[in-house]
A and B are shown apart, each in its own frame.
Chain A
Amino acid sequence: MTANVTIRIQEADFDVGREIAALSKGRTDIGAVVSFSGICRGSEGRQSIAALTLEHYPGMAEAEIARHAEAAMSRWPLLALTIVHRVGRIAAGENIVLVLTASSHRQAAFEAAEFLMDYLKTNAPFWKREESADGTSWVEARHHDDDAAARWTKS
């Protein structure tokens, strides 16, 4: 069993269908693929958001995502994993991040996708700045994201 791992950080958009096809191409051992897409919302509360600009720490972002991918693979019997994170300016309605997890049975794929997203939110070195009618401002980290990541370390 070899887990097929793809990690990319890119400015360009991604095609979810094409990524799923690439992940499972030529394999008959995969019985479940879970796909999570993070999308730029056009509003935050009452504030209308035109776009986000994603900054990242080149080198560390890839390393940190790879560490999370390793952790997910040691915890669940995953057969394949794809993580794509966009950087640069992302308009409302556009994709930001993609996590695909594949396993023989659905539970591992569901859990691993959630685990990866929770850790990406709090530990991967990316920062969002939002554009609204009031100008641009850095998005503040949320406590509930920390709580979501912390629950995976509880027994």
Chain B
Amino acid sequence: MKVKYFAWVRERVGKSEETVEPPASVRTVDDLIEWLARRGETYAHAFETPKVIRAAIDHAHVKPDTMIAGAREIAFFPPMTGG
């Protein structure tokens, strides 16, 4: 699946998008955050406070316990500050 990062999550990870293949044990958005955080220092820094991270699956907001099966694109970003 494709993973995208925005704002300071993007800056901390050091890339705006990538394709990842998490194991089957990674079932929810929260699981994916935990799995990503273990990929290295930059990821650990980006995801050090999981509760502030917002997520979207295929362009729609989702909660941390949402299942990721079937997702084409998952995005992680800080709380939004538009408008």
Interface set of A (CB-CB < 8 Å, partner B): 38, 54-57, 59-60, 63-64, 85, 96-97, 117, 120-129, 138-141, 145
Given A56-B82, A63-B59, 6 more A-B residue pairs with CB atoms under 8 Å apart are A57-B59, A125-B80, A125-B82, A126-B81, A128-B82, A129-B7
Residues of B close to A122: CB separation below 8 A: 79-80
Q: Would B59 and A127 count as touching, CB distance under 8 A?
A: no
Give the interface size class of chain B. 10 to 19
Check: B6 CB closer than 8 A to any chain A CB. Answer: yes
Partner of B83, one of A59, A63, A121: A121
- Cα–Cα, bound, A123→B67 (Å): 21
Partner of A127, one of B4, B60, B82: B82
Check: B75 CB closer than 8 A to any chain A CB. Answer: yes
**CB within 8 Å of A: which of B38-72?**
56, 59-61
- Cα–Cα, bound, A63→B6 (Å): 17
Residues of A close to B81: CB separation below 8 A: 121, 126-128, 138-141
Residues of A close to B59: CB separation below 8 A: 57, 59-60, 63-64
Whose C-beta in chain B lies nearest to the C-beta of A116?
A: B83
Q: Would A125 and B56 count as touching, CB distance under 8 A?
A: yes
Residues of A close to B80: CB separation below 8 A: 121-127, 141
Partner of A141, one of B4, B6, B61, B78: B78
Q: How far is the CB of A138 from chain B (nearest CB, A)?
A: 5
Check: B77 CB closer than 8 A to any chain A CB. Answer: yes
Residues of A close to B60: CB separation below 8 A: 60, 63-64
- Cα–Cα, bound, A85→B75 (Å): 21
Partner of A57, one of B4, B79, B83: B4
Whose C-beta in chain A lies nearest to the C-beta of B52?
A: A141
Q: Would A125 and B77 count as touching, CB distance under 8 A?
A: yes
In this complex, which of B4, B56, B82 has the most chain A Cβ atoms within 10 angstroms of its Cβ? B82
Interchain residue pairs with CB less than 8 A apart (22)? A56-B82, A57-B56, A57-B75, A60-B60, A63-B60, A64-B59, A64-B61, A85-B82, A97-B83, A120-B82, A121-B80, A122-B79, A123-B80, A124-B80, A125-B80, A127-B80, A138-B7, A138-B8, A140-B79, A141-B79, A141-B80, A145-B83
